[in-house]
Amino acid sequence: MSLDKHTHPPYMTIWAVLAVLMFGKVAVGLSDLPQAVAVSILVVISLLSAGLVALYYMHLRFETKLLWALAFLPFPLVAILILTVIQEW
Q: What are the tens digits of pLDDT across the range 54-72? A: 888 887 777 888 887 887 8
Q: Is residue 31 part of a domain?
A: yes
Q: What pLDDT shows up at residue 70? A: 84
Q: What are the tens digits of pLDDT across the range 14-66? A: 999 999 999 999 999 999 999 999 999 999 999 999 989 888 888 777 788 88
Tell me how many domains the chain contains.
1
Q: What is the pTM of this model?
A: 0.70
Q: 79 or 60: whose pLDDT is higher?
A: 79
In which domain, by residue range, is 15 found? 11-64
User: Contacts for 46-53 with beta carbons within 8 Å, 24 or more apart?
Assistant: 48/21, 49/18, 49/21, 49/22, 52/14, 52/17, 52/18, 52/21, 53/18
The predicted model gives 3-23 an average pLDDT of 85
Q: Is residue 23 part of a domain?
A: yes
Q: Is residue 82 part of a domain?
A: no
DSSP string, 8-24: PP-HHHHHHHHHHHHHH
Q: Is residue 89 part of a domain?
A: no
Q: Is residue 74 part of a domain?
A: no
Q: Is residue 76 part of a domain?
A: no
